Amino acid sequence: MHSFRSGAGAKALLLALLISATSRAPAPAAQTISTEPYAWKNVAIYGGGYVSGIVFNRTQPDLVYLRTDIGGAYRWDGRARNWRPLLDWITRRDSNLLGIESLATDPVEPNRVYLAAGTYTNPRAGNGAILRSADFGAMWQRTPLPFKMGGNEAGRGNGERLGVDPNENRILYLGTRSDGLWRSADFGATWSKVGSFPVVSDADDNTPRPSMPGRFNFPVQSIGVVAVEFDSESGPRHLPTPAIYVAVSTSGPSLFRSLDAGATWAPLAGQPTGFRPNHLVLDKEGMIYVSYGKEPGPNTMTDGAVWKYEPKTGIWTDITPVKPAVVGEKFGYGAVAVDARHPGTVIASSFYQRNEIYRSTNAGQTWIPLLVNAEWDHSAAPYTRSFNPHWMGDIEIDPFNSDHVLFTTGYGIWATANARAADRGQHLRWTFDDRGVEETVPLGIISPPEGAHLLSGLGDIDGFRHDDLDGSPPQGTFVDPHFTNTESIDFAAKAPEVIVRSGTLRGPATGAVRAAYSVDGGNTWRPFVTEPPLPQAAANNRFFRGAGSISVSSDGKTVVWTLPSGSPEVTRDWGATWVAGNGTVPALRVIADSVNPAKFYSFDTQGGNVYVSSDAGSSFATAAKDLPKVEGSFFPAPGDLHAAPGIEGDLWLAAADALFHSIDSGATFARVSSVEEAATLGFGKAPPGSTYPAVFLAGKVQGLSGAFRSDDAGATWTRITDDRHQFAAIIHLTGDPRIFGRVYLAVHGRGILYGDPAKP
């Protein structure tokens, strides 16, 4: 994302959720699990998240990969002219592997590609793994590692930490955050630590991950080894490359070299100190270029530089395009790249307050800026008109086409096809080159029975009305107001043109009301008049505080909004006045009955109780008790309670390790015993010959994980995903009330997918 996905909780780790007994005898178990092939496509948005690295293969044209911080990896499909996701096979249990720390493509056997996978280094996260493929990422093998990785932590735009020896491609090196340098001699199948590599501390790291109240709070993070490069000309083919360069993220001596294929290491003499290296590249003549920042990025970078080193002479030269102190701005340099076809042609990206790309054709003696007066083509994703290029943590020149340059941002990739025009004083044209890349974090999706088939609430880029599922919405994101994150979205079941949403703006309080309503199906929006009152302590803390949960009655006349640290508040005049809901309900998500406008419901995950209001939210009373207490991560919210459309008092509760159903407005619940895990659920159009809606579920049924559909109110289930389409962490899902069988999946880091039964 273009931030660290604050209100989205978009970087949250999905953990195992533990529950206990039920309130009533289980329903009869389903006898068998059937399967139905589904065709899956992304709902087109394009981009939306932080692309942390781009890697070109140096020997096969048009072979290029990208990695993301929470959304896996992609390969460019030159024929289709779009990016192909490579990790949709990852299961929910392994969703930590969707944060890609580093990526390497083999220059000797281009079919081989490697991923260093692992999102977090905090204690709750699992260890990282090397994912390796011998068929361009179609199929993968996994090597577990004895340490963690931080694909979504500080320094994630640095790189590449993973490298393939260009002379003996059985050999790979991997730089880690806290465990030094590692080596494999069998195409990544097994790994051992390089004991001779110096132990280097980066304890001077002064850039902890910002605290996120109510979410995970990370300590100061170790960045460790950030780049590995081989000098392929230093030795013959089929023998390990003698000269290897490794960069460590420290402000002390940070660049190390081995001249004996990794047996011994020494710091380069005369190297600059005071900044952290983040990218290290060699040109075809052996010249080394290094970009530096005072901090590792991406949340901040207040100073930095670009240097070059000539191994033949041992001379270091400062070639910084613009020195931050000279212009009085806070920025560093996020990346540097060289032209494989033209030694001496270098590009470098500034990072933070100044976001510019500089190009030199004389090895850094002089530079010209490339983004000044540039032409920007937003046609592929119109929402990007409201974003400026930033977080440019990687920039690459196509090794087979010097005009083709790509750079990363916090929301995707920009590319130009006429880079050398800048040498003639001409302006460059940049295109948003993200077709197929879907890295948003959907926080809410709805499919009303009228109007657009889908509306979304997203982390970092607000949300959309999706009138065309196969094209990025031409109107862009929601406006008037526009939120950074839309955290909750709902429609009135019997008046579906009425839609409400709540969201947040980045930064301290601005006085803006964090909720909006539409009376025309999401075409236009108006902010609520005021927000509900909050306790003073909560009211004084609005930085990443969240916008809570919002719902609207079935007739569209009553809105219940629960802000964090507050209780449910009710308005019937779009926020001109608010009435506190009396009773014992704490700060919980409230949902509306789909038929009776006077009924609202809520589930207390800590107490295991269901609350019911029969007076349009004015008061709540306890209904079912002693349901499982749901512990674990906040994302998705444990205890996912839903009201079935068209049936008063019909409720379903996905409670992590169990699924429950109530037909009496929450007074009692029966457990669906065939369901072993229930992450989230939703409803779609009833099957032919039935009036009860199809029920969709993300979880595990009789030992099989994935997404399921029930056409008989949970008596039997059909698995609609397969082993190659697991989609890791499905946050929300909903069926389409107008198209039988269609389901929309909100997937953490992979955007929104829609599936239909596959045609024979």
Query: Annotated catalytic sites, by residue?
Result: 69, 460
Using CA atoms, how far apart are residues 749 and 45, in angstroms rounded to an integer? 13
Beginning with the edge strand found earlier in the chain, give each strand of the sheet holding 579-580 in spatial order. Answer: 549-552, 559-562, 569-571, 579-580
Using CA atoms, how far apart are residues 728 and 724, in angstroms rounded to an integer? 11
Closest CA to 349 of 362, 336, 365, 363: 336
Closest CA to 131 of 165, 106, 97, 159: 97
**Exposed/middle/buried for 443, CB within 10 Å: 0-12, 13-18, 19+?**
buried
φ, ψ dihedrals at 386, nearest 5°? -90, 5
Using CA atoms, how far apart are residues 622 and 613, in angstroms rounded to an integer? 9
DSSP 367-431: -EESSTT-EEE-TT-GGGGG--------EEE-TT-TT-EEEEETTEEEEES-GGGGGGTPPPEEE
Closest CA to 24 of 670, 746, 752: 670
φ, ψ dihedrals at 113, nearest 5°? -145, 145
Structure tokens at 392: 């440019």
Using CA atoms, how far apart are residues 282 and 261, in angstroms rounded to an integer? 17
Those residues whose C-beta lies under 8 Å from the C-beta of residue 74, and which sit 6 or more positions away, are 65, 66, 68, 83, 84, 85, 86, 436, 437
Radius of gyration from C-alpha coordinates of the chain: 27
Alpha-carbon distances, residue 559 vs 281, 516, 546, 600 (angstroms): 56, 11, 18, 10
Residue found by looking up tokens 């963690």 in the block: 148
Structure tokens at 224: 């460790």
Q: What is the dihedral of CA 542, 546, 551, 552, to 10 degrees?
A: 40
Secondary structure of residue 718 in the 3-state scheme: strand
Structure tokens at 327: 């212009």
**Exposed/middle/buried for 421, CB within 10 Å: 0-12, 13-18, 19+?**
middle
Pairing assessment for the beta strands 33-35 and 717-719 based on DSSP bridges? parallel
Structure tokens at 335: 């990346």
Those residues whose C-beta lies under 8 Å from the C-beta of residue 220, and which sit 6 or more positions away, are 205, 206, 207, 208
Closest CA to 122 of 233, 279, 253, 11: 11
Alpha-carbon distances, residue 167 vs 110, 161, 398 (angstroms): 13, 18, 21
Residue found by looking up tokens 């009305």 in the block: 465
**Exposed/middle/buried for 108, CB within 10 Å: 0-12, 13-18, 19+?**
middle
Those residues whose C-beta lies under 8 Å from the C-beta of residue 153, and which sit 6 or more positions away, are 120, 121, 177, 209, 218, 221
**Exposed/middle/buried for 130, CB within 10 Å: 0-12, 13-18, 19+?**
buried
DSSP state of 582: B
Those residues whose C-beta lies under 8 Å from the C-beta of residue 328, and which sit 6 or more positions away, are none
